[in-house]
Structure 1
Amino acid sequence: MTGPAHLQGIGFGYRPRAPYASDPARTRGRFQQEEESPTRTPFQRDRDRIIHSTAFRRLKHKTQVFIAHEGDHYRTRLTHSIEVAQIARALARALCCDEDLAEAVALVHDFGHTPFGHTGEEALNDKMARWGGFDHNAQSLRVVTRLERRYAEFDGLNLTWETLEGLVKHNGPLTDRNGNGIAGPVPHAISAYNELHDLELHRFAGLEAQCAAIADDIAYDAHDIDDGLRAGLLTIDMLREVGLPGRILRAVDERYPHLDPVRQGHELMRRQITLMVEDVIATARANIDALKPGSADDVRDCGRALVTFSAEMAKEEKELKAFLYKNLYRHPSVLEVRRRADRIVRDLFDAYFAEPREMPEGWREGLDRADDRIKARDVADFLAGMTDTYALKEHERLFDRTPDLR
């Protein structure tokens, strides 16, 4: 199935597209065939469907690093996704790729995250261990192919092959050419869908998905610093001792010797994003020039990602991540809140599994007669879709005492 060739014209926001970019006029189509839009490309429609979905709205009250109750100005999954989309779109524009596809992958990449961030995912994965575990990337695929129920003719959002490929493989291939999982077994949700709609799990994703993947790294490297400074868990002086932020802060000090700490932090964040984006663009262009892919399929067959940091920036980025892991993600106050959030997720899973009738109408039907695997997966779907605030309210409804996450 191909997209509408007439949308390649200037009248629909056409930008020069490189031969290695994904072309919406030559999309591999949707699982459920639909009439094309006369005014939007298939990738624009994907982006719009993602933005109007229930899962997208729920990201507003899902944790990034800090639990939402800790303050209104910390990032949530929604604000993070918007920031990732802005960076992904800038990268795609510089590389003459399809900006709408890059934006769509960026906006959908966190749909499968549980309440309370990675804490919720780890708790749910442990609870689901007997039934294949829980993986947020696989859950994102379930959301957009099954759990969203907005259309009369199909479940999910019926996104294009390219957007689904980017969602599943934005961090690289999942299998080797023989179908063996590269980092362990492929999550069941992905392998089951792949049997129906081959996403070519052994190949790399197109450049647009690669732009979204590295934009995710750039965004949280900078913005977790910003949130850490706001929370008082990081200081400007601490950051002076870390390679990348340290050299940026020296330049800021030289130009603005009397700048207050709040503005120092903002200067650091924006300059760091700019440096990383410019590094990626230069490195990707060099990779493209060296390998000369002539099509999107050539990109998939390159055997490695083309949208990457330079060796020098990759080293600095790795050092920064190690710093953040030690001083922010593993800070005692963050770990204590995570411990309490973990208890909430585990309690809720046990309560719903023991008594499915505690779940709302539309989730509980037939589960009293279902086997444990089906029941557990349904409970996991329901729990994963919760916002932090809804999870807290449900825990307060079902239990006498609920941990304080403030």
Structure 2
Amino acid sequence: MDSLETPNWTQRYTDYLHDLPARPARIVYQRDRARVIHSASFRRLQAKTQIFGLSESDFYRTRLTHSMEVAQIGSGLVEQLITVGTDESDKEADYIAWLPSFYLIEAICLAHDLGHPPFGHGGEVALNYMMRHYGGFEGNAQTLRILAKLGEYTPENGLDLSRRTALGVMKYPAIYNDVTASNTNYLAQLQEQQVDDFRTLQMNRWSPPKSLYLEEKVLFDWVLEPFSLADRAKFTQLADCDGCHKQTKYKALDTTIMELADDIAYGIHDLEDAVAMKMVARELWQAEVMENPLFQEYALWDDEMTTRLFSHSSRGRKHAISKMVGIMVESIFIDENSEFEHPLLRYQAKLKPEHAAVLELLKTFVYKNVITIPEVKQMEYKGQLIVLELFKSLRANPSALLTTTAYEKYKNAPTEQAKQRVISDYIAGMTNTYAARLYAKLFTPAHGSIFDRL
């Protein structure tokens, strides 16, 4: 068992390769956060979908503002854990020594969506279909790929963040190929003929498994190196799933904090956008949330919250949203999973059961009444078609259509899978706006010029 004083967790992969010592945590985690903030992938999140299309308004949340809110909530969760873990005599609970610093949790939260492709989950499914024979595509896996290879901070090791930051970002510690190999239904799908008319493609059959790419396995193994063999085996174990993609069951301490922050932002902050757009009526909220038997059992707030949330005042709505977030943040506590030896796996951040149940109710409400309504799904579908057609054309004509930099990578790629991964990386890095403009330039006769700067 290592201790906090050992440099295992502040080490960067480049330092590991060159046998260089790790730097102190106060320096490393601050610079991890800075590398994320100053990366091109982070800036591009300002033009990637959260829920609503970017053309709807410049007021509503994007992946960038979502990531910033997740980071702020993540810091609040850590602060609350310190507060509840310190008694009146300033004696601290054992877990406090293992909590992430504010710099570290913000770096993890800000980085958690870097691999998000254009057009949200729709774009992810489209890329996975085109990459189904070449290692697949998955948003979380793409995030680690940016940290490990694509980020601009180092020539070969991406943003080259510390081991602990990389661990915190890995929500699903399993390799894509291992997950798909255990899904007989998906293996049968892979034998189907290529669909060339993408309008006939059943998109929902190609949702990717939650996983990491085989290409990043070396970094994956390095991140897990400080754990015992037993901890590693348990951490990467896949839960049984009949006829569907298996998922890992466990997450590291920092990841549990980040995921709670992400869920709170999704269930509450995204609700604010839906209310502001008048997509959710007060009567629907009253029927499906306030009068839901589960909410009535726990009643975390009263009707005054509803009045504020649906007031015509943005100030009143903001006050309600802030109050809801605060209620969730203040319910966090640390649980222990005795099946693990290492504190970073044994300690788990959770919400109190009643708060977790209400948050799940809010997430379900947003999913049912916002994410999956036809108006939103239609825009997602259009984005999928853009991604599929772009990939098809780039695959057929890489020398003519790829940028000079991307084509050089394509030519130098040693295998067909590596070549296809270059195309995938190129499209995944596009913003919604860039992808739509490139599509119009290539396929709309009245659009496009050699002087266009996409």
Common fold, TM-score beyond 0.5?
A: yes
Question: Aligned with 1:308: secondary structure?
Answer: strand
Match 2:283 to one of 232, 237, 251: 237
Residue 106, structure 1, aligned to residue 109, structure 2: yes
Q: Work out whether residues 174 and 201 of structure 1, in 8 Å CA contact, stay in contact via their aligned partners in 2.
A: no
Question: Aligned with 1:364: secondary structure?
Answer: helix
Q: Which moved more, 1:318-327 or 1:198-207?
A: 198-207
The structure-2 alpha-carbon separation of the partners of 1:313 and 1:372, relative to structure 1 and needing over 3 Å to count, comes to same
* Alpha-carbon shift at residue 366 of structure 1 (Å): 6.1
* Alpha-carbon shift at residue 23 of structure 1 (Å): 6.7
Q: How does 1:3-402 map onto structure 2 within 5 Å? A: 27-33=9-15, 40-96=26-82, 97=99, 98-151=101-154, 154-169=156-171, 173-174=173-174, 187-195=213-221, 197-198=223-224, 200=232, 202-203=234-235, 204-243=250-289, 248=301, 250-252=303-305, 259-260=311-312, 262-279=314-331, 281=332, 284-285=333-334, 287=335, 297-301=342-346, 306-357=348-399, 358-365=401-408, 367=410, 371-400=415-444
Deviations 1:304-355 (A, max 9, x none): xx21222222222222222222210111111111111111111111111111
CA distance in 2, matches of 1:80, 1:184: 21
Question: Aligned with 2:349: secondary structure?
Answer: coil
CA distance in 2, matches of 1:387, 1:122: 16
Q: Work out whether residues 140 and 211 of structure 2, in 8 Å CA contact, stay in contact via their aligned partners in 1.
A: no
* Alpha-carbon shift at residue 218 of structure 1 (Å): 0.3
Deviations 1:82-109 (A, max 9, x none): 0000010111122232222111110100
Please, which runs of 5 or more residues in structure 2 have no aligned partner? 83-98, 184-208, 226-231, 236-249, 448-454
The structure-2 alpha-carbon separation of the partners of 1:91 and 1:158, relative to structure 1 and needing over 3 Å to count, comes to same
TM (norm. structure 1) is 0.80
Amino acid at match of 1:90: G
The structure-2 alpha-carbon separation of the partners of 1:257 and 1:173, relative to structure 1 and needing over 3 Å to count, comes to closer
Amino acid at match of 1:112: G
The structure-2 alpha-carbon separation of the partners of 1:173 and 1:261, relative to structure 1 and needing over 3 Å to count, comes to same
CA distance in 1, matches of 2:405, 2:133: 25
The structure-2 alpha-carbon separation of the partners of 1:185 and 1:61, relative to structure 1 and needing over 3 Å to count, comes to closer
* Alpha-carbon shift at residue 32 of structure 1 (Å): 1.1
CA distance in 2, matches of 1:326, 1:206: 30
CA distance in 1, matches of 2:315, 2:282: 11
* Alpha-carbon shift at residue 55 of structure 1 (Å): 0.9
TM (norm. structure 2) is 0.72
Amino acid at match of 2:131: M
Question: Aligned with 2:377: secondary structure?
Answer: helix
The structure-2 alpha-carbon separation of the partners of 1:373 and 1:311, relative to structure 1 and needing over 3 Å to count, comes to same
The structure-2 alpha-carbon separation of the partners of 1:333 and 1:78, relative to structure 1 and needing over 3 Å to count, comes to same
Report % sequence identity.
31
Q: Which moved more, 1:214-223 or 1:364-373?
A: 364-373
Q: Work out whether residues 268 and 362 of structure 2, in 8 Å CA contact, stay in contact via their aligned partners in 1.
A: no
The structure-2 alpha-carbon separation of the partners of 1:244 and 1:278, relative to structure 1 and needing over 3 Å to count, comes to farther
Amino acid at match of 1:382: Y
Amino acid at match of 1:323: F
Amino acid at match of 1:168: M
Amino acid at match of 2:160: N
* Alpha-carbon shift at residue 401 of structure 1 (Å): 6.7
CA distance in 2, matches of 1:58, 1:318: 29
Deviations 1:243-302 (A, max 9, x none): 369854603368x799536445323311211111112x2xx14x26xx799x99224146
Question: Aligned with 2:136: secondary structure?
Answer: coil
CA distance in 2, matches of 1:225, 1:263: 15
Q: Work out whether residues 309 and 318 of structure 2, in 8 Å CA contact, stay in contact via their aligned partners in 1.
A: no
CA distance in 2, matches of 1:128, 1:258: 44
* Alpha-carbon shift at residue 35 of structure 1 (Å): 6.5
- Tell me the residue number matched to 1:7: none
* Alpha-carbon shift at residue 237 of structure 1 (Å): 2.6
